[in-house]
Amino acid sequence: MVMDALLSENDQDCENKDDLISGLPDVVLAQILSFLPSKVAARTSVLARRWKDVWRCVPDIELTCHPDQSASESMAFFATVNHVLSHRTTAQIRKFKLSFYSAGVTELYCIYCWIQHAIWRKVREIDLNVMDVRPFMLPPELFTCKTLVSLKLQSGLTFCVPSLIEFPSLKVLHVIGNVTEEMAERLFSCCPVLEELLIEGYKEDHVAVNLNIVAPVLKKLNIFLESHIGDQIVIDAPECKYICLQFTAKLVVKSLSSVIDAYICLGNCFGRPGGHKPDYSEYVYQLFREISQVQILTLSAITMFTIRFALHQNLSPFPNLIELSLNVEHCEDWQFLPVLLNNLPNLRSLNLQKNTLCDHERDYDWCSPESVPQCLLSTLMYVYFQGLNMREDELKMIEFLLKNGEVLKQLTVMPIHLALEDAEALANRLVMLPRASESCDVECCKDYCTSP
């Protein structure tokens, strides 16, 4: 928006201006072009003589082949990459980003050579996005590349990894796609200075992977892995501050004691009574113990479901937790809330969210804790409940929070799929509930209600 406004302002008076940009030194012009895809950068060659060769000294290469391009266009794309690589005048390649959708054997060989070329040119960032499904061997020297700071592999390809892996400078590693056994075992424990790790993928059904993460200075960890209880994930990341974990594999936490912000979606739907043995909760409890210093915590519906079967276990307190978000699908899953509240002495903000699309829910008796949790007496200021309906059990829960929340400032509920008149009735009922905190605002947000 800002850019557009600026363009229109300057459009009229640009004709008689002196050349604004050509007087800049090559290195600055190259930096400008480095923010553009290589194709766009190359087009500046026809602006004027001054510009003919500037694009060739840009240290960043970014090339994309769109999915709707024909086979011949795709061929042209490979010719283009070769052209760009062979026309460069700088010694270093800083960033090499390549996106395309399908590749034959010849093309895969090209990619292999390009990556080798980038390694020779002391590449710092590689970002490879290939939507094709076949095994592919990356050049072995990639895995010992000393200059590489960022490696992003997003692909349907099955990458084969060598036995020797050593990334002395790698700070950012993203793997999106097929996570093979060898990769899981070796790739994520050979990066001594890694700060950011993202694993988002799936694995072959018949193999059990053992995902081994050893990262002494890791700050941010995201794992979304289609997995099952036969797989295992080991995490040793003592400095890690942010985690986002989503899988059903066995979890072994060696260290995660610096976490301050966590999103946890662990477990499976097999824990139902009469179903599979509900033992996954042990892993969740183990994780809870390890991240006890967390400040912001979000538990997904699946996690709430999983731990519902382990309420008998002793939960260790979270002394620093100030913001808690819980998602549930069934009312019964609120059973964990009183247990949690008893262990959160400094909770300030509680966000509750329920998926209201399940119709056939069992009734659930809200069971107030025997004594009022500490956070309700002294710290809990904000409660937000999205998806509250007219269920008596949930209203009892709200009633308990209002009746005992001594320092509550704001309670907001947002009904979903409720008729407007029912929402009015709900709002009236909420306003009538006794409140421990006189200054507490009670608000019913009707944005998602259905009009008659």
Binding stretches for other proteins (CB under 8 A): 2-3, 5-7, 10-11, 14-25, 27-28, 31-36, 39-40, 42-52, 66, 69, 73, 76, 79-80, 83
**CB of residue 186 to other proteins, shortest distance in Å:** 33
**CB of residue 240 to other proteins, shortest distance in Å:** 19
Nearer to other proteins, 68 or 359 (CB): 68
Largest CA distance in the chain: 82
Nearer to other proteins, 220 or 429 (CB): 220
Nearer to other proteins, 70 or 314 (CB): 70
Nearer to other proteins, 26 or 421 (CB): 26
Cβ neighbours around 165 below 10 Å, total: 19
- Whether 239 and 219 have beta carbons less than 8 Å apart is answered as yes
**CB of residue 52 to other proteins, shortest distance in Å:** 6
Nearer to other proteins, 83 or 254 (CB): 83
Nearer to other proteins, 261 or 361 (CB): 261
Long-range CB pairs of 311-317 (<8 Å, 24+ gap) are: 311/335, 311/336, 311/339, 313/281, 313/285, 315/285, 315/288, 315/339, 315/340, 315/342, 315/343, 316/288, 316/289, 316/292, 316/343, 317/292, 317/343, 317/344, 317/345
DSSP states of 63-100 = EE--TT--HHHHHHHHHHHHHHHHT---S---EEEEEE
**CB of residue 70 to other proteins, shortest distance in Å:** 11
**CB of residue 191 to other proteins, shortest distance in Å:** 24
Nearer to other proteins, 43 or 289 (CB): 43
Burial of 339 (C-beta count, 10 Å sphere; 0-12/13-18/19+): middle
**CB of residue 43 to other proteins, shortest distance in Å:** 5
Nearer to other proteins, 77 or 400 (CB): 77
Residue 304 DSSP SS3:
helix
Nearer to other proteins, 82 or 342 (CB): 82
**CB of residue 261 to other proteins, shortest distance in Å:** 15
**CB of residue 153 to other proteins, shortest distance in Å:** 25
The first and second tokens of residue 228, run together, are 């099952």
Q: What H or E segment, with its residue span, contains residue 11?
A: helix 2-11
Pick from 368, 364, 415: nearest CA to 389: 415
- Whether 287 and 251 have beta carbons less than 8 Å apart is answered as yes
Residue 148 DSSP SS3:
coil
**CB of residue 76 to other proteins, shortest distance in Å:** 6
Cβ neighbours around 272 below 10 Å, total: 11
- Following CA atoms 85, 86, 88, 89 in sequence, which dihedral angle do they give, to the nearest 10 degrees? 150
